[in-house]
Chain A
Amino acid sequence: MDLTILIISLAKIAVVLTVLFTCVAYVVWLERKVAGRIQNRWGPHRTGPFGLLQPAADFLKALFKEDFTPAQVQRPIYFLAPFLAMTLALMSIAVIPFGENVTIAGRTIFFEITDLNIGLLYIFAVTSLGVYGIALAGWSSGSKYSLMGGLRSSAQMISYELGLGFAVVGVLILSGTLSLRGIVNAQSGFWFGIIPKWYIWPQFVGFLVYLTAAFAETNRTPFDLPEAEGELVGGFHTEYSSLKFAMFFTAEYTNMITVACLATLLFFGGWMAPLPWAWVQHVPALVLLGMAALMTRTALRTYRLERRKSYFAVPGLAGIVGLIGLAFLHPVFAAVAAPMFWFASKVFVFLFLYIWVRWSVPRFRYDQLMHLGWKVLLPVAAANILITGLVVAL
């Protein structure tokens, strides 16, 4: 019995890690592509069709680069820091449920690595530990830029962690559980048969605080002061190169995916469809088929401009997407995959928002950042708890 659990969880972890690394790789690609378009340029487009092989090229580059260790570093800590950052970032994904549990032929499939009854607490615990990776990296590097970056980053992360922690208390009052699956299930149903009972409506203020704090927690613009390149070179990872740098990079994007997943689960009903299931049951198929058509069209058009044969690979990809779309027409497949489709779509919207904001909004000044965290977010979140408490009690 124990062995089966172990094997099943190993398989799940393998799948989740593969999907996660692919997501991280292609979020980076998407970021560069969107950044390019926002700045009126192409973004990566040399490696493979539309630069789709860029993540692989980046990984190989990191692998073959010299792993440089400056003389003045505190060695054990310097080596430990990227491991801490990356491992802890990955750990938090372990309790994220990404689909509704389904029972097929008497066997229930659980769509998460493990369901803890304190899932949310676990995530906060693990992500809080993540600050060690950054603080230690900054301190052990023995460079002034690293130290400043590490200090700023730690102060910023712990300040906004309060806002983040306070913001979700409202959700906890409403749902009465710390289990992420429980929180999503508490958001099922519709008001007037059309407005989904997601916590975004009663907890709108909480959501705004959460979103702002999440930007700061992941060190993303407008709160990217830890690596404000104009003043701090690379911030806490100035002295890190090759794969160790790649590990910090992976950690940052993994954290981004985690907070996007968490926003989806806590405020946007997780895998629930935005309208009653019956109304939107064909939407996944339509969206995926539309995507396939769009991919094919764009690839053929670009081929006519550039005459590079690699573009013929894209219709092949489109074919796979289209086949998945067709599979959604089968009721059993739809029952399993439709919740995942909705979950993935919502997470994608959040990730896109992150990228969009990063390339549109200028950076805060450090005193403004602290002011926002301690004097705006914290009181607003506390007031939100108070009002939610009053409304629920009365």
Chain B
Amino acid sequence: MPGNYIPILVFLVLAFAFPVVALSLAALVRPSAQSGERLTPYECGIQPVSDSRGRYTVRFYIIAMLFVIFDVETVFLYPWAVQYKALKVFGLVEMLVFLAILLVGYVWLYKKGALEWV
């Protein structure tokens, strides 16, 4: 079975090599005149104001945290789903308990307004 992963490794090398080759090729033929005002970040032609890596809304962090929780749940669901036909009613009950816990958390988040964007 590990042998099946060798082509993926080869593929990874090739997939990475292709843009490297293309970029090196381009370096030989393309012009380069990088200086002065052109090096400023694009802000529609106006002088950039304040730092570009400023603070941003906390909601992005909340979304990221929620994602981690729910994504791990998804990963737990996969092996269960694959073995479901073998587990039969036991699997069903297990899944109901699991989804119930998930649901409690979800309802709590909903009530807390963590899923609201505005």
Q: B86-107: which have CB < 8 Å to A?
A: 86, 88-89, 91-92, 95-96, 99, 102-103, 106
Nearest residue, chain A, Cβ from B56: A151
Q: Which of A189-197, A216-224, A382-390 contacts B (4 or more CB under 8 A)?
A: A382-390
Given the complex, which residues of A lie within 8 Å of B39, measured CB to CB? Answer: 70-72
B interface bracket (residues with beta carbon within 8 Å of A)? 35 or more
Given the complex, which residues of B lie within 8 Å of A375, measured CB to CB? Answer: 110, 115
**Contact among B12, B41, B43 with A87 in the assembled complex (CB-CB below 8 Å):** B12
A143→B3 contact, CB < 8 A: no
A165→B15 contact, CB < 8 A: no
Task: Give the CA-CA distance A62 to B25 in the complex, in Å.
Answer: 12
Of A141, A146, A172, the most chain B CB neighbours within 10 A belong to A172
Task: Give the CA-CA distance A67 to B23 in the complex, in Å.
Answer: 9
| Least Cβ–Cβ distance between A255 and chain B, in angstroms | 14
**Contact among B19, B30, B95 with A389 in the assembled complex (CB-CB below 8 Å):** B95
| Number of residue pairs A-B, CB distance < 8 angstroms | 205
List chain B positions with a Cβ less than 8 A from chain A.
1, 3-8, 10-12, 14-16, 18-20, 22-23, 25-27, 29-34, 38-44, 52-54, 56, 59-60, 63-64, 66-67, 70-71, 74-75, 77-78, 81-86, 88-89, 91-92, 95-96, 99, 102-103, 106, 110, 115-118
A393→B88 contact, CB < 8 A: yes
9 shortest A-B CB distances, which residue pairs? A172-B81, A367-B117, A71-B39, A9-B7, A165-B74, A143-B41, A158-B67, A90-B15, A114-B7
Q: A1-36: which have CB < 8 Å to B?
A: 5-6, 9-10, 12-14, 17
Main secondary structure of the interface of A (DSSP, over half): helix
Task: Give the CA-CA distance A350 to B115 in the complex, in Å.
Answer: 31
